[in-house]
A and B are shown apart, each in its own frame.
Chain A
Amino acid sequence: MKRYAYYLSCINESMTKEVDRSIELWQKDLGIEFVKLHEGTCCGGSNLDYVSPKHFALVNARNIALAEKQGLDLIVSCNTCLMTIRSAKKKLDESPELKKEVNDLLKKEGLEYRGTSEVRHLLWVLIDDVGLDAIRQKVKVPLKNYRIAPFYGCHILRPSAVLGHDNPLDPTSLDLLIDALGGQTIPYSHKNRCCGFHTLLVAEQESLNVAAEALEEAIRAKADFIVTPCPLCHTSLDGYQAKALKNAGVESSIPVYHISEMVGLALGYSAKELGIKRHIVC
């Protein structure tokens, strides 16, 4: 059983609780165990970095240090948390002065940021550590009747200098996971585009247009559902779907799943167990 520290994203503790619930159901089936970091704090959601760059460094050095204390890698299931914490790590690793300033404070909590733990996405763990062959062997209900649109989202791909797992122009990891679970990936030009989440409260019309474009392409291609590795993309594409499509004059709908739910379905768990019924579009 390989162990990891698991970062609790704010949105997965409030609106998208089904993400963590799904992971809890199947983690042991795949030979992995996620240890929840209850001491962790909000990463700053790609906003704290400019409101206060130093608090941004402190908060995320601490998040990583909590994993380092246990000698574990830090696993994240939200794209923006991933990008944000990895950006902070890069800044800390490149600046000995910043690292020292932050560590002088962390010392008071008995913590130290050393830079020894990797910060990785759940999707990367599934592909690189569990492995596609092992996943294939565990599949109980292959997704063979499903045409699936893979929506990667921005912050698992860009900036590539911070992320670096997939080619941001032609990502493949999510496609590979769908294939291992027996599903059929459809060609989807929006796969590496944006969902508009981060400006939903600031530039709502623009964000809804962005979400509608991604939804429309999947609907036109007759996909059965969209799958995303990010709960923020999920919220934009599922929660705001009715509004976005109404705005665009499209009379249709399409379910959106998080990868943790798609894995759960293929491993034999029911939609009810996985919390899929909590989605706005089912």
Chain B
Amino acid sequence: MTVPIDQHTELKQDVTFRIFRFNPQVDSKPYFDDYTIPVERGITVLRSLNYIKEHIDASISFRAFCQAGICGSCGMRINGLSQLACTTQVWEVLAKSREPALIKVEPLRNLPLIKDLIVDMDPLVDKMKHYSNWVDSTMPESSMGKKEFLISEEEFLRYDKATDCILCASCVSECTILRANKEYVSPAVLLKSYRMNVDSRDALHALRLAELVKDHGVWDCTHCYRCQESCVKSIPIMDAIHGIREEAITLRGLKDTSGSKHAEAFMSDIEKKGKLVEATLPIRTNGVLWTLQNLLPMAVKMIMKHRTPPPPPLVKSSKGIKVFRELFREMTEHVKQDHKSHKK
């Protein structure tokens, strides 16, 4: 079909790529270079970067391989959001861009920078090793090749989505807690850990979980959902993080952490009063000493402003709490039954 010439021009426009540049061996600080190129509809950010590297400036460094959203190499921040350059359409970015015809390209956050758009993935790999992000088979070596592992559909569905992860590190780049502390486990490693921990073929569940509940582990996630929102494979990462927490508390009884004590306080307060008893939450989470050391100055200010939460006896229960409590406890019986049949 012949397309009139004026429509051709509409399908092509000049776009400026403002690219982050930094070579630690030469540069004292990072800077941006602008490259303006004609871009047709349907062209991805990666193809544009390849064009710039081939035709304008060969010194730009970025990582890319499959060009099809499979290998996870070309994660970078495009107009502020961590995503894959190879699956991101220039015209789609422009449609949401505040500045017309300008796309800012920067390296992923929360990982050490090597050069320009390339970050060092080693810290992420080291964490995957630390948290045993692989299946260690429950089958004795002597039986391997002779017996098959049968996996139920129900079990498969539990980790089906999690196995879609291609380790592009977009979630790592967007993570709130990692930004505050680089020692934090990171969402990608939590997702992989969950995927291994719900796999019945794996023998390392207990070991992995014991590591995950320690400092900088699963309890440090602050529920901001940035990881899930930026996932290039639309994996519900928070479900995996919550899944690890649920397993730690409910199935394995790993309750001696501030995170699990904090979470369980909600359950017990709702059953008792229908309301959260906030005044004692710090003590129940971290003990009296921690609370005095960490919260006393703030508590004094709050008292002066009449802002302190009421002590437990003064927390008014929800209206109709007695009937509610019966329903709540009946549900507890349902859950017990579920666990029994799950064990069978």
A69 at the interface (CB under 8 A from B): no
What residues of chain B have their CB less than 8 Å away from a CB belonging to chain A? 80-81, 96, 98, 176-177, 179-181, 184, 219-226, 228-229, 236, 238, 242-243, 245-246, 249-250, 258-259, 262-264, 266-267, 269-270, 274-276, 278-279, 281-282, 285-286, 294, 297-298, 301-302, 305-310, 315-316, 318-320, 323-324, 326-328, 330-332, 334-335, 338
> Measured between C-beta atoms, what is the minimum distance from B338 to chain A in Å?
8
> Measured between C-beta atoms, what is the minimum distance from B260 to chain A in Å?
9
Cβ-neighbour of B335 out of A52, A108, A199, A201 (below 8 A): A52
Question: Given contacts A51-B263, A199-B222, is CB(A41)–CB(B308) below 8 Å?
Answer: no
Are B305 and A42 interface neighbours, CB within 8 A?
no
Are B243 and A108 interface neighbours, CB within 8 A?
no
22 A-B residue contacts at CB 8 Å? A15-B278, A39-B318, A39-B320, A47-B262, A47-B263, A48-B266, A50-B246, A59-B328, A62-B327, A101-B334, A109-B320, A154-B224, A155-B225, A160-B229, A169-B81, A193-B176, A193-B224, A199-B177, A201-B262, A202-B258, A210-B176, A280-B302
- Residues of A within 8 Å of B320, CB to CB, are 39, 109
- Residues of B within 8 Å of A52, CB to CB, are 250, 267, 331, 335
Count of chain A residues near B, Cβ 8 A: 62
Are A10 and B278 interface neighbours, CB within 8 A?
yes
Question: Given contacts A101-B334, A196-B176, A196-B222, is CB(A55)–CB(B305) below 8 Å?
Answer: no
A53 at the interface (CB under 8 A from B): yes
Question: Given contacts A42-B270, A50-B263, A201-B285, is CB(A239)–CB(B298) below 8 Å?
Answer: yes
- Residues of A within 8 Å of B249, CB to CB, are 50-51
Are A47 and B266 interface neighbours, CB within 8 A?
yes
A101 to B267, CA, bound (A): 19
Are A51 and B327 interface neighbours, CB within 8 A?
no
Nearest first, the 4 closest Cβ-Cβ pairs linking A and B are A158-B225, A41-B274, A14-B309, A50-B242
Are B80 and A169 interface neighbours, CB within 8 A?
yes
Are A14 and B278 interface neighbours, CB within 8 A?
yes
Are A207 and B222 interface neighbours, CB within 8 A?
yes
A101 to B249, CA, bound (A): 23
- Residues of A within 8 Å of B223, CB to CB, are 46, 154-155, 198
Chain B residue with the shortest CB-CB distance to A199: B222
Are A15 and B308 interface neighbours, CB within 8 A?
yes
Please give 15 more A-B residue pairs, beta carbons under 8 A apart, in addition to A59-B328, A155-B223, A242-B298. A10-B276, A45-B276, A51-B246, A55-B332, A108-B327, A109-B324, A154-B223, A199-B220, A201-B262, A203-B220, A205-B181, A206-B220, A242-B297, A243-B297, A277-B305
- Residues of B within 8 Å of A159, CB to CB, are 225, 228-229, 236, 238
- Residues of B within 8 Å of A201, CB to CB, are 258, 262, 281-282, 285-286
- Residues of B within 8 Å of A42, CB to CB, are 266, 269-270, 274-276
Are B306 and A278 interface neighbours, CB within 8 A?
yes
Cβ-neighbour of B334 out of A10, A38, A54, A154 (below 8 A): A54
Cβ-neighbour of A199 out of B221, B242, B269 (below 8 A): B221
A49 at the interface (CB under 8 A from B): yes
Are A206 and B181 interface neighbours, CB within 8 A?
yes
Question: Given contacts A58-B327, A280-B307, is CB(A51)–CB(B319) below 8 Å?
Answer: no
Are A169 and B96 interface neighbours, CB within 8 A?
yes
A240 at the interface (CB under 8 A from B): yes
Cβ-neighbour of B270 out of A53, A55, A242 (below 8 A): A55
- Residues of A within 8 Å of B323, CB to CB, are 108-109
- Residues of A within 8 Å of B275, CB to CB, are 10, 13, 41-42
A132 at the interface (CB under 8 A from B): no
Are B276 and A194 interface neighbours, CB within 8 A?
no
> Measured between C-beta atoms, what is the minimum distance from B182 to chain A in Å?
11
